[in-house]
Structure 1
């Protein structure tokens, strides 16, 4: 950890990244290769782990952490004397699916306390928000704290595009959208973000345009997956395999290859609610956005009901393979496997869970049960919910050992489609 004085001795642009999760940590590490960077997080445990070289998100390897000049701290006193502040904290929704800007406003308040007005720092938000939050909500909070916009600070926005677990579309290879309240801020951000990506930057027309671009990226994907989930529900009533239909449809050059499944996580399962909140505040009822959310949020329960009917209403032991929101990542936030599990239990099934990537402590906290070790214990119903590599690579003997006599192997993501199934296994898929 570096002190404020250490930063001041450097001739480099001084940057503070507030929030060191899936978005903030890769960004901070990349920026630290070119600038004097402090990575701040209120979670002291997180800072301690990172100092020991352990990133629980799996995004940054221990060797890269050890080699980085990034200064890690949970003490806001270390965050003064910066030229640029970048906010990368979560923007979830509450129990009523309304935007929860608590973390963003908390980070904003911290910056207001430590920023040096004489430096006229640029405060950049990467957190996904609806248009207007950066300038009106956050800018308003900074001014309410006694800072004058334009004189004491300036605002920018650069939507995050981190895809957890994706080693191809990493932060150094993707176009970075940037926006600022004036041309000087835009060019400053072009220098900062342009230093860390080979794909260049895109100068958005305005901060609101950049905010909107981010929120519609995820809403668009959510709606496309919702369409495929509805298709799966329609075809399921006819006994037609969705995957057989997709195999045929994908032969057309302009068919979009979205697939059905459980839609969770901190982005796709959340961001459409930010757009719908904005729409409703403007007096517009967002029919398409909310219909897609309703379809995707109900998919886990629908699958559970279909499986229960497939099993002729016989409840028994069940094993759900995969709890994280997507394959090969440890992130349990907004896991839709939870919906599947809850409904199976309502129908009388005794459900066990397993996930090779999720932290067992988090599984216990989120799901209230001990994760299983897949060691040959057989279940009446085995559900492949998340396409982790470890599960996808199961051979016929491993699959046979998991499924009890007269049991069902349910393959939501078609990861075992086409495999030579052991005799006697009842294979089910969308």
Structure 2
């Protein structure tokens, strides 16, 4: 009886090939390498920072140097993965400026894997996609490039990533993993491979489309819940009611789920709903609640900009000059260097469009990446004095500032601290304070 892919991996007869070494692929490669031989490759030749370990050594030009020893090997080209048999595709699936799904990286990775695919190989996708994408877009491309037939010559599966960067409590190994395959045999073998790495329960999907949809639902639910609290924050704020107190009171009931208002960013919540909306629209189905949730969340940057400028308009107007605003943080979440779909970058744009002079400081992120992605220069430090300071992202370095620091960088008691996450609530005495 032929040995299954899991047994071949365990006996080191073959290896796992991870395509895409970003925030999903690199942690996955590191964990997989504790149990199997792993070779990783990134199409853009640039991998994300990984604080838990140094980068593994690259392969030599001749393909040698694959000393695994519990560490993945970084390949110089896709052909260096040709001896692998269990391919995991973990590349980005963003949306473009018109919120249309962009699966170009996914298709490029699929084409690359198709060029080295062999009989008996497995291809598992972790990238977030719309329902039906794996079977409608990826499988035909694999078959065309390789000349092989899915289900007969090779197997395909889908196991959506659930990485939450910066979350020390929930990691790859203790987060339940969704498993699906093109047939029962594929699902069983894929489950055995992931089960070696993940200690949490595995959730089996009846088919690949159900697994694709589950990932989208996770983030659409969060999108809509955040939309609700953002809408309540804007409404209650205009009524002079403290939304944080309202949330605290509502949380006293057992079936209430607490969310906090704020700018929405990152690679999931601002993106994933549009994958479902797009596929639904292709089938003539409308998703009004999901569309509204996205719209409200996207309006938050403009709302914050309006509130900040309204609250400093009196003092600035008397002096007849442009307001100066300092924004602290441009990453999409605290203590992260990830700037994808940055809500703070959208806020900076809204402030500038409304006539403010705006400086953005973030010690966690790379200034060149900000310039390339958003077209503005990141300031290395505050310069001069500001009419308002906006703590858009409460990195650790921005959570322990003193009254004296704010006094040094602001114009005086009429200046505003816009503390979007409520970090300094009840702690500020020498300037005006506002939070969502």
Q: TM-score over 0.5 for the alignment?
A: yes
- Answer whether contact 1:397 1:422 (CA < 8 A) is retained: no
1:256 shift after superposition? 0.8
1:72 shift after superposition? 0.2
Q: Deviation per CA, 1:56-92, whole angstroms, max 9, x where unpaired?
A: 2x45333899974211013011011222111000001
Q: Deviation per CA, 1:119-169, whole angstroms, max 9, x where unpaired?
A: x21110000011111111111111222221122211100010000111110
SS at match of 2:108: helix
Residues in 1 aligned to 2:349 and 2:200: alpha-carbon distance in whole angstroms: 43
Residues in 1 aligned to 2:385 and 2:334: alpha-carbon distance in whole angstroms: 23
Give 2:127's aligned residue. Answer: 127
Residues in 1 aligned to 2:338 and 2:387: alpha-carbon distance in whole angstroms: 28
Residues in 2 aligned to 1:105 and 1:320: alpha-carbon distance in whole angstroms: 37
Residues in 2 aligned to 1:10 and 1:377: alpha-carbon distance in whole angstroms: 63
SS at match of 1:404: coil
Give 2:355's aligned residue. Answer: 348
What pairs up with 1:217-366 in 2 under 5 angstroms? 217-312=218-313, 314=316, 315-366=322-373
Does the alignment pair 1:112 with 2:114?
yes
Give 2:88's aligned residue. Answer: 86
- Answer whether contact 1:403 1:409 (CA < 8 A) is retained: no
Mind listing any 5+ residue stretches in structure 1 that lack a counterpart? 1-6, 47-54
Distance 1:282 1:368, change over 3 A: closer
2:426 to 403, 415, 418: 418
SS at match of 1:217: helix
1:175 shift after superposition? 0.8
For structure 1, which segment, 265-274 or 384-393, has the greater mean C-alpha deviation from structure 2 after superposition? Answer: 384-393
- Answer whether contact 1:59 1:165 (CA < 8 A) is retained: no
1:13 shift after superposition? 4.3
1:401 shift after superposition? 2.5
Distance 1:198 1:152, change over 3 A: same
Alignment RMSD (CA, Å): 2.1
- Answer whether contact 1:355 1:371 (CA < 8 A) is retained: yes
Does the alignment pair 1:32 with 2:33?
yes
Does the alignment pair 1:203 with 2:204?
yes
1:343 shift after superposition? 1.3
Give 1:176's aligned residue. Answer: 177
1:8 shift after superposition? 11
Residues in 2 aligned to 1:83 and 1:179: alpha-carbon distance in whole angstroms: 18
Does the alignment pair 1:429 with 2:397?
no
Residues in 1 aligned to 2:56 and 2:97: alpha-carbon distance in whole angstroms: 38
1:377 shift after superposition? 4.6
1:170 shift after superposition? 0.6
Distance 1:266 1:63, change over 3 A: closer
Give 1:194's aligned residue. Answer: 195
1:12 shift after superposition? 4.3
TM-score (normalised: structure 2): 0.89
Between Structure 1 and Structure 2, how many residues are aligned? Answer: 411
Distance 1:258 1:67, change over 3 A: farther
Distance 1:67 1:321, change over 3 A: farther
- Answer whether contact 1:43 1:74 (CA < 8 A) is retained: no
Mind listing any 5+ residue stretches in structure 2 that lack a counterpart? 1-7, 58-67, 317-321
Distance 1:250 1:59, change over 3 A: farther
TM-score (normalised: structure 1): 0.91
For structure 1, which segment, 300-309 or 212-221, has the greater mean C-alpha deviation from structure 2 after superposition? Answer: 300-309
Residues in 1 aligned to 2:418 and 2:115: alpha-carbon distance in whole angstroms: 53
Give 1:62's aligned residue. Answer: 54
Residues in 2 aligned to 1:332 and 1:12: alpha-carbon distance in whole angstroms: 40
